[in-house]
Amino acid sequence: MPEEAVESAAVAEAGEEAPQAAEAAATPTEAAPAPVAEPAAPAAEPSPDAPATDAPAAAAPAAAAPAAAAALACAANLAAGALLADRYEIIGPVEGEPCRYRAFDLRRCPQCGYAKNEPRSEFCAECGATWTEPVQVIIHEQKATAEPAPADQFLAGGYVYTVTVEPSSATQGAASSLSGLQLTWGQKTDVGKQREVNEDSVDVRVYTPHAGPVLGSFIVADGVGGQDHGEVASQTAVQVIWQQVRERIWGPEMAGEPVPTSKALAILAEAVQAANETVYKLRTAQASEMGTTVSMALLRDNLAIIANVGDSRTYLWSAGGLKRLTTDHSVVETLVAAGRITRAQVYSHPQRNLIYRSLGDRSKVEVDTFTQALAPGDRLLLCSDGLWEMARDEGIEEVLLSEANPQRACDQLVEMANLAGGDDNITVIIVQVA
């Protein structure tokens, strides 16, 4: 996400991985996206009225000035174990980045984001979640030039710090907005019974702001290519999409600048297109057949903005029952639409695994995007074909009817798919609005 502009202040950013996600990141399918580098400050453009000069000797002292100023601005040299504001415990400096330190936020709940817990609490006073370890943040320090505003800054040892929290990544949890809306979610991915490598990737990001809407990003990608490393394609797609969403949608939202829905739809399509181009370049460079599907939902309180390519699916579970929101870009879906086969014949058709649209297949890809309003009690289910082909819609409905907890429902659906044969990798996310 883009850094917020902070004058004469330091920035503390929460690390992208919540403690629950640290374990998940060890698996290829749940790799967290690479951090986005901070953009360099643009150089000042000369005034058109300024006189031209050909005196190069003057450039050296001018270039040295910013470096000297930076050295003076971050002279605190925070040591490992140092505690700031009875909350941030320094881990150590960020290599190659002056004035930046890794630290633990000892008060922030990794599940719901509540930031008024006692340091090193075992349980969150707000949501009751158990803490395994503190949330990691990045501290950027600068010399204080004015007394900070107590609402969002603190002063320590002559340095002022402004805290900006990035979204957490968690396998399951709950988040609430000031409007009272709550999201609960669960996810699970499994290699299945017939495959040796899990080529699916899954990514869940939820941000609970101090004010404004709860934000959620939920992505399922099903890599294709087998020995041509479909898992690389799906991981890459997830990372690129998340980076785009974080920078272009969540960044402004977190800075109090809401992104219009029409613009968010366009950004989501562009994010998937960027992922397609990245995978396509990898595929071309390696002369491989790698590719990936993607189905994702970006939630802003009770509105879901959905993007889809391929035959991974997003469903809506509501009072009206189970409804598939996305359209498969597959041969069998085309045959069903043409009336040449029935919906039931899809599961046994010899061409059921052929898709005509995926990321990486061509330099450009058409992306389906749309919105879906959500009512209290509604659930979104995102999955790879390894789930819906094995459990089928009837099995999905059965589990959603009987199990209210999103994580337990995910576990049961994966188990159901494996019991039905587990022919493919299986991935599912369930998000509930309450």
What CATH number does residue 267 fall under?
Answer: 3.60.40.10
* Same domain for 357 and 265: yes
DSSP state of 255: T
Q: Is residue 37 part of a domain?
A: no
Phi, psi of 269, deg, nearest 5? -65, -40
pLDDT for 301 equals 84
pLDDT for 172 equals 64
Looking at 149, 166, 183, which one is the last position of a domain? 166
Q: Is the pLDDT of residue 306 over 90?
A: yes
Q: Is the pLDDT of residue 276 over 90?
A: yes
Read off the amino acid at residue 368: D
Q: Is residue 74 part of a domain?
A: yes
* Same domain for 204 and 68: no
Quickly list DSSP for 316-367: EEETTEEEE-S---BHHHHHHHTTSS-TGGGGG-TTTT-BS--BTSSSS---
pLDDT for 99 equals 74
What digits encode the pLDDT tens for the residues 164-218?
Answer: 444 555 566 666 554 567 889 999 999 999 999 999 999 999 887 656 678 999 9
What digits encode the pLDDT tens for the residues 332-359?
Answer: 999 999 999 999 999 999 999 999 999 9
* Same domain for 96 and 74: yes
Q: Pseudo-torsion of CA 340, 344, 347, 349, nearest 10°?
A: -30
Read off the amino acid at residue 150: P
Task: Report how far Cα 166 is from the mean position of its chain's Cα atoms.
Answer: 10
Question: Could you tell me where the beta strands, DSSP code E, fall in 343-434?
Answer: 368-373, 379-383, 426-433
Q: Report the C-alpha gap between 268 and 227 in whole angstroms.
A: 30
* Same domain for 410 and 365: yes
Q: Is residue 55 part of a domain?
A: no
pLDDT range class, residue 92, cuts 50, 70, 90:
confident
* Same domain for 271 and 130: no
Parent domain of 219? 173-433
Tell me which of 81-95, 275-289, 317-331, 391-405 is least confident.
81-95
What is the residue whose two structure tokens read 């990486």?
Answer: 360
Q: Is the pLDDT of residue 125 over 50?
A: yes
Residues belonging to the chain: 434
pLDDT range class, residue 149, cuts 50, 70, 90:
very low
Q: Is residue 271 part of a domain?
A: yes
Burial of 96: CB neighbours in 10 Å, binned 0-12, 13-18, 19+: exposed
Mean pLDDT of the chain: 79
What digits encode the pLDDT tens for the residues 207-224?
Answer: 876 566 789 999 999 999
Q: Report the C-alpha gap between 434 and 432 in whole angstroms.
A: 6
* Same domain for 200 and 151: no
Q: Is the pLDDT of residue 23 over 50?
A: no
* Same domain for 196 and 78: no
pLDDT for 290 equals 96
pLDDT for 176 equals 57
Beta-strand relationship, 10-14 and 159-164: parallel
Looking at 108, 141, 166, which one is the last position of a domain? 166
* Same domain for 189 and 147: no
* Same domain for 259 and 377: yes
Looking at 137, 166, 195, which one is the last position of a domain? 166
Q: Which residue has the higher pLDDT, 146 or 284?
A: 284
Highest mean pLDDT among 4-13, 133-142, 220-229: 220-229
Q: Is the pLDDT of residue 10 over 90?
A: no
Domain count for the chain:
2
* Same domain for 372 and 322: yes
